[in-house]
Structure 1
């Protein structure tokens, strides 16, 4: 079969694909029909993978995909397939691993050339229209690939077969299970600690990414083993990024990464997942240090989220572009004159707390950031600074806004829902918990046949969900249960795990695949072990199963989680730094913490202590005094007495004696 000789992206459910619907390139979305067309024509596939907030994706589109002459070459020589990596992370991970296996540096846009049956034989990332940056021009690349395909097809096919086999072994293979070992977390944390920039935070060098999975490894190491240097590395990294240009000091929210080692010049795109993980990290940091910087940044980030990222007042959009009006960062940057025009005589007070800098090589307007002293002073004088920022924000709203990718991704929303629920508990913000519940309800009711969609855009739903979607929503449901006490959330978490078992479990019941069993268009069914900016699907699955098993006292689920963790540990031994999410989750499986609190709903004394001491290793369950039915069980199936307030902290199958004093509970939770 062949598809119509025209661009077919206009009806897709991805804003990124729709951005390319006006290209003269005869784009197809990834589908069985597009793959069949390549087989029929016996043409190689040109696969282009990107996402809506990707700056260099836009550059390549403007230079090449919107060019009639370039498009004519593409249309004549290839079947051209466009993929939104946020819609199809399974496809993206396969071909990114192939590029890496070729010894090439990964990134987006990802440009891969495939045999008609979808096997990769060559690729790269961004190719300029004309030869520069040490790269050949894009048309040169197209013609060279076509020549190689015509003249060396057999050897290219053999190369593609070998590369595909290698990628399959790496992403979908099985290894013998490994015993869960406490040392795995400590060893990884020590390795990460050795890479930390002790002056500027984050990992040494540039560019600098938040790297939440690594930060969680360090935090868990401190909580469990008392490694204060690991805690301090996280706190330093947070403080430094929160005063750098990577944080939006006027409107709130964290950008994707900084291009330099000082966190100063951001790549200005804002991603939902980065900000979800920032909220969680700041919540842990605030509970530990009492430093109001972290509380303020939580508040500012959530203000941004609810103001700019809510889609129709319900769940949350995927991202904001880096560019507006054709220029990166234009929406977020200021000249001194612009600030003085908005603030007038108050501008000198504003510059007491913030600095404008134009670093070498940056061609845009200056970037707002803070010195360490300005950061400390702005926290102390927040009431003076807030009205000035509000004036600048109002002025900024008159500018051309960056485009927003309005698709609601289930897994990213799950991360944000959990973060809102946890921060709402800790900081007594019922409105945040309510926002989390609203987003959860929107996604949970958007499914069909008891299955979640992966992506929602208006009336369009992309099915089937990925394993990461069920895992993230299960974790979100558990966090909402902790925040509200509503048992329905625990039940839904169990239903999400059941859907994982039905559609994603492997034949040996030792783990899960990222893609559902009835998804027919993936060349390799991968496991989803590798972290990206967020923990891997496998790491999230193990975490959800451990938490739900601990919450419900379900020994069968606990045993299943242990089995999945052992097999994941066997695979992770080969590339620990790329799979920190699995090691973090295995640490939870080894020593799950459970806190059961019996308290008076009208005048609680113990619950506030638990709420202000969040711990990612711990599942909390609150029971009203006098409750006739007890949802929680202590190890061994023992029901706690509910005639008076008390708290039971259990590690695995062992519980401390009942704690009745809030001071004692606070001491125990902080020591733990």
Structure 2
């Protein structure tokens, strides 16, 4: 490597702009995607050739990495002109204007067709997509959950429920210490790639928080929400208020060593009765369930625990966590990423809102404040920070995710400053990233000049900026009544209509935004003061649906004239709710039970 090349190692989480360009180049030359990605470039950064997973020694028809490097260097030295021509043609292909996509009607029929198509790729029993490996795919889950609410279809709701159960019962979830691993290597959600990423856990928190049923006496995922947040607060916080990016999969030179158990370990730490109790619950056996060791999981059905056994379970797990902390720990990647922190903030705010936990809201607010201080320069968000060094300015994904986080904080706190901040962040998105036709470039107009400014709309492990931005604009339109926000959302959706119709799997976040655009309802509670609004606000939180926005305001602080609830008051000095949709509002509602019934009516 050093003899033949100038080597540049890129952290794809710090520089997703580079990763997008060269992954697209890899696909253009007919190679499958994946990581680690190796690309050979000209001195100007134009791609020549590349690939993934080069073996150390030649095998299975693939040359060794050393042979590949020697051959590329030989061709570059002896056929420089043809190499330069190839690089120029490949770069031109990447930079070609996007094909004009066939338009499609953005209506409920499109949503239903997309939901049916996506349901067809889901595993009806275990959740997630069929086969292995299994990834969480939270954009897809969000759209299916919205579709289930909108249609009342049990098959859609069942697919979401099966996936959330698989994620939180499987070995992909750390039952001892909390937190979700990156993906499952098998179709049962048992054996994960043990790396834990902030982005996945923030998105998991939001999805779990929003999944609760109003008919249930308690939130069905409360335990996993609590243990995930406990992990987040215990293992991922940094002194500056932000969260670290990830925990490695390896420790002591072996993947998963920190997380797996052998039955004799339980016997040495616990009483015989407690060891047997927890081993049965979590599938920890003498023979093991993964290469002779046991990954704790709850995949086997068990009857509900009594309150005494539930307390016992929690106590034993804490004992095991403390004992596990004495093992060599996985490495912490302590860089701070704006979009990943935004997902964590959104998840914390959603959990606080649904489970009435002000302490979680305070933690989310502190992290959001850290974005404005540590992860910003002169008021403008950056993408990444570590040890005083910034990478920026922010990408479109950062700004859209931060605007989403600001709106989640507004829902939970009713602090109007977060609405203003969401608008400011979206204005930055328009000013520095807009393509002029309803889309967004990934990089800012004043960022480092690369060989291409990409404008991809497809989701990957996280929702795409276009879907997030459209969703945020629709929420702002619902909350303020200002048509300019609706117009911006419609421009995003219209420009992506062909892509949405052609590729539901890659367009799940845009489909979710379209669902909200067609169904959004604004709940406005007018009360003498915030304390008196609490009973009605609690009803909204318990009966929350994904088509709602919430605005609580004191009597006399009216909404803007553009909002259909402008001028509505607290009738008779009592807290009063209005549910508004498509420019019209319901009659005043002051009874909590009546409000609950109204919210559940589509």
Pick the TM interval, shorter chain: over 0.9
Please report how far the alpha carbon of residue 552 of structure 1 lies from its aligned counterpart in structure 2 after TM superposition. Answer: 1.8
Confirm or deny: 8 A CA contact 2:133 2:183 kept in the other structure. yes
Match of 2:228 among 281, 292, 301: 301
Please report how far the alpha carbon of residue 287 of structure 1 lies from its aligned counterpart in structure 2 after TM superposition. Answer: 3.0
Confirm or deny: 8 A CA contact 2:522 2:549 kept in the other structure. yes
Does residue 435 (structure 1) correspond to residue 363 (structure 2)? The answer is: yes
Match of 2:590 among 620, 641, 660: 660
Match of 2:42 among 108, 115, 125: 115
Please report how far the alpha carbon of residue 270 of structure 1 lies from its aligned counterpart in structure 2 after TM superposition. Answer: 0.5
SS in 2 for 1:268: strand
Does residue 218 (structure 1) correspond to residue 218 (structure 2)? The answer is: no
Does residue 460 (structure 1) correspond to residue 379 (structure 2)? The answer is: no
Structure 1 window deviating more from structure 2 (654-663 vs 140-149): it is 654-663
Structure 1 window deviating more from structure 2 (277-286 vs 290-299): it is 290-299
SS in 1 for 2:7: strand
Confirm or deny: 8 A CA contact 1:550 1:592 kept in the other structure. yes
Match of 1:546 among 474, 489, 494: 474
Cα deviations by residue, 1:345-365 (Å, 9 ceiling, x for unpaired):
221121232102699995473
Confirm or deny: 8 A CA contact 1:186 1:221 kept in the other structure. yes
Cα deviations by residue, 1:96-117 (Å, 9 ceiling, x for unpaired):
2222233332111111122333
Does residue 612 (structure 1) correspond to residue 542 (structure 2)? The answer is: yes
Does residue 602 (structure 1) correspond to residue 531 (structure 2)? The answer is: yes
The equivalences for 1:59-458 within 5 A come to: 74-132=1-59, 134-169=61-96, 175=101, 178-287=104-213, 290=216, 292-312=219-239, 314-345=241-272, 346-356=274-284, 362-363=290-291, 365-374=293-302, 376-377=304-305, 381-446=309-374, 447-458=376-387
Please report how far the alpha carbon of residue 132 of structure 1 lies from its aligned counterpart in structure 2 after TM superposition. Answer: 3.4
CA distance in 1: counterparts of 2:326 and 2:386, whole angstroms = 26
Please report how far the alpha carbon of residue 275 of structure 1 lies from its aligned counterpart in structure 2 after TM superposition. Answer: 0.9
Cα deviations by residue, 1:84-130 (Å, 9 ceiling, x for unpaired):
11111121112222222333321111111223332323211122222
Please report how far the alpha carbon of residue 379 of structure 1 lies from its aligned counterpart in structure 2 after TM superposition. Answer: 8.7
Cα 1:269–1:583 change in 2 (3 A) is: same
Cα deviations by residue, 1:68-89 (Å, 9 ceiling, x for unpaired):
xxxxxx2232222211111111
CA distance in 2: counterparts of 1:589 and 1:415, whole angstroms = 22
Cα deviations by residue, 1:429-475 (Å, 9 ceiling, x for unpaired):
00000000000001112322321111121322222111111111111
Structure 1 window deviating more from structure 2 (473-482 vs 642-651): it is 642-651
CA RMSD of aligned residues (A): 2.4
SS in 1 for 2:553: strand
CA distance in 1: counterparts of 2:115 and 2:215, whole angstroms = 21
Confirm or deny: 8 A CA contact 1:185 1:217 kept in the other structure. no
Please report how far the alpha carbon of residue 145 of structure 1 lies from its aligned counterpart in structure 2 after TM superposition. Answer: 1.5
Structure-2-length-normalised TM-score? 0.93
Match of 1:647 among 573, 577, 581: 577
Confirm or deny: 8 A CA contact 2:118 2:504 kept in the other structure. no
State the aligned residue count. 595
CA distance in 2: counterparts of 1:243 and 1:379, whole angstroms = 19
CA distance in 2: counterparts of 1:549 and 1:494, whole angstroms = 11
CA distance in 2: counterparts of 1:634 and 1:646, whole angstroms = 20
Structure-1-length-normalised TM-score? 0.84
Q: Which consecutive residues of structure 2, in runs of 5 or more, have no partner in the other structure?
A: none
SS in 2 for 1:121: strand
Confirm or deny: 8 A CA contact 1:330 1:365 kept in the other structure. no
Please report how far the alpha carbon of residue 329 of structure 1 lies from its aligned counterpart in structure 2 after TM superposition. Answer: 0.4
Cα 1:209–1:572 change in 2 (3 A) is: same
CA distance in 2: counterparts of 1:110 and 1:288, whole angstroms = 46
Equivalent residue number for residue 399 of structure 2: 470
SS in 2 for 1:399: coil
Confirm or deny: 8 A CA contact 1:252 1:303 kept in the other structure. yes
Please report how far the alpha carbon of residue 374 of structure 1 lies from its aligned counterpart in structure 2 after TM superposition. Answer: 3.1
SS in 2 for 1:273: helix
Please report how far the alpha carbon of residue 634 of structure 1 lies from its aligned counterpart in structure 2 after TM superposition. Answer: 7.1
Cα deviations by residue, 1:172-209 (Å, 9 ceiling, x for unpaired):
66657655332232222111101111221111100011
Please report how far the alpha carbon of residue 598 of structure 1 lies from its aligned counterpart in structure 2 after TM superposition. Answer: 2.2
CA distance in 2: counterparts of 1:126 and 1:360, whole angstroms = 30
CA distance in 1: counterparts of 2:511 and 2:46, whole angstroms = 31
CA distance in 2: counterparts of 1:412 and 1:243, whole angstroms = 24
The equivalences for 1:473-622 within 5 A come to: 473-506=402-435, 508=436, 510-599=438-527, 601-603=530-532, 604-622=534-552
